[in-house]
Structure 1
Amino acid sequence: MIIAVTPYELLTDQHIQRLNMIEPQIDGVLLRTPMTQLSLIEWLHALLQDEFPKSKVIIHTDITLAKRMGIQRLHFKEGDKQAFHLKETHPSYSVSMSVHHVESIIKAREHQLDFGLFGHVFPSASKQGKPPRTNAEVCAALSEQFPLIAIGGIDQHTVTQVNPKFIGMACIRSAFNIPIQVFDEMVQKWKMNKER
């Protein structure tokens, strides 16, 4: 599973163009943005009018927005109880959560969430000054028998080092800032890594 995560900025037509270019390679896009709900709705309408599949859109936290737009995939911050309640009341929804500690992974599993984003697995520009997860931390997380997607510092150079026990990877900079051909090569490397 490949998840693109939008950079934390106002989304524009350029983001729409990029998402349509990488859409065949990704399984979802997580909309992480400081935009107001109204602005995000307008942007989403433009994205969907450009024939980006609604089934690949993942809303961050805003349940009201997701319901208004008919989107059934949501992602939440670590420990956000809204995620647990949403999954309990709407079991058909795909509900994921950022999980950076084993305790959080266990809670997510107990509440039957669909998957977690775990990281950061490599040094990351968005986590400057913070060391990445150790190999021991990664192994402990993956031992919990809960679907995890790796995030943080994954690019065309590090992708082959991602533990293949992750069910997928999530990319921010790589999804939006590298040439399409390089992105495609990175995805192919990930698929080969999973097949080992």
Structure 2
Amino acid sequence: MELHVITDGKQTIESLTEKILMIHREVDFIHIREKQKSAAEIMEIVTKLREKGVPTDKLIVNDRLDVALLQGLSRVHLPGSSFSIQEVKHYQPTIRIGRSVHSIEEAKKSEQDGADYLLYGHIFSTHSKEGLEPRGIDELKKICRSVSIPVIAIGGMTAETIKLIPDKVHGVAVMSSVMGSDDPLQAVKHLKKSRVKEEGEDENGL
């Protein structure tokens, strides 16, 4: 199961870069999701990470297609309100696109439009979605059954809740439990360890 870490928009460039450098070898993908930062600042972040040896294949820029293309990244994540997947694929057919979805209808349409993976949530209660009902495991299973492309679960992922994610879900995305930690490397290792099961155990299938 893939582990995606999403930045939380609360760090300085220096702090953000430092934390990513600590964890990048332990995770599959890092999403640069910095809505409050300018394109120039996001460019600076990606440049620093690349100069420090973070593989470009691990970096996914959220929404800023311009930055992704200028940096030669192979992936971009587009929120539902962002660019048309079809339009981006028309001009950049090789770029891999993720899309945030919140329903089966959105998931199916995104797949039809050419999305390469989906980010679905929030699965569990989370402070960032306070007051909103979590969608839960059953809805996550329905989403996974409705499409053939990978689904990444997000929302309220902790060392405890991650154990409840069905084994056939392609991956999970975490934000505050890693980026808000004083020791992000230990937080990542704790998350990964919590997913380890006894051989043959498969209680959370779809």
The TM-score with structure 2 as length reference comes to 0.86
21, 35, 38: which one aligns with 1:36: 38
Contact 1:121 1:133 in 2 (8 A): yes
Question: CA 1:105–1:152 in 2, change beyond 3 Å: closer, same or farther?
Answer: same
Pairing 1:172–2:175 present: yes
Whether the aligned pair in 2 keeps the contact of 1:88 and 1:111 (CA below 8 Å) is no
The aligned counterpart of 1:14 is 15
TM-score (norm 1): 0.90
Matched AA of 2:174: C
Q: Is the 8 A contact 1:156 1:183 kept in 2?
A: no
Does the 8 A contact of 1:78 with 1:100 survive in 2? no
Is 1:55 aligned to residue 57 of structure 2?
yes
Residue equivalent to 2:78: 76
Among 114, 125, 128, the residue aligned to 2:127: 125
Asked if structure 2 preserves the Cα contact closer than 8 Å seen for 1:9 and 1:35, the reply is: no
Which of 68, 90, 93 matches 1:91?
93
What amino acid maps onto 1:155 in structure 2?
T
Residue equivalent to 1:155: 158
Q: CA RMSD in A?
A: 2.0
- Count of paired positions: 196
Match of 1:185 in 2: 190
Q: Which amino acid in 1 is paired with 2:195?
A: W
CA deviation after TM superposition for structure 1 residue 43, in Å = 2.2
Query: Residue 122 and residue 12 in structure 1: after superposition, are their counterparts in 2 closer, same or farther (change >3 A)?
Result: same
CA distance in 2, matches of 1:71, 1:130: 34
User: Residues 150 and 169 of structure 1 are in contact (CA less than 8 Å); yes or no, is this contact kept in structure 2?
Assistant: yes
Deviation at 1:185, TM superposition (A): 2.3
- Could you say which residue in structure 1 is the equivalent of 2:4? 3
SS of equivalent to 2:146: coil
Q: Secondary structure at the match of 1:30?
A: strand
Q: Deviations over 1:130-163 (max 9, x none)?
A: 1110343222211113310000000111110112
**C-alpha deviation, 1:48, in angstroms:** 1.5
Deviations 1:19-66 (A, max 9, x none): 122112211111111111112212222222111111111111222221
1:11 and 1:43 in contact (8 A); partners too: no
Looking at structure 2, the residues matched to 154 and 160 of structure 1 have their Cα atoms a distance apart, in angstroms, of: 9
Aligned counterpart in structure 2 of residue 108 of structure 1, from 107, 110, 124: 110
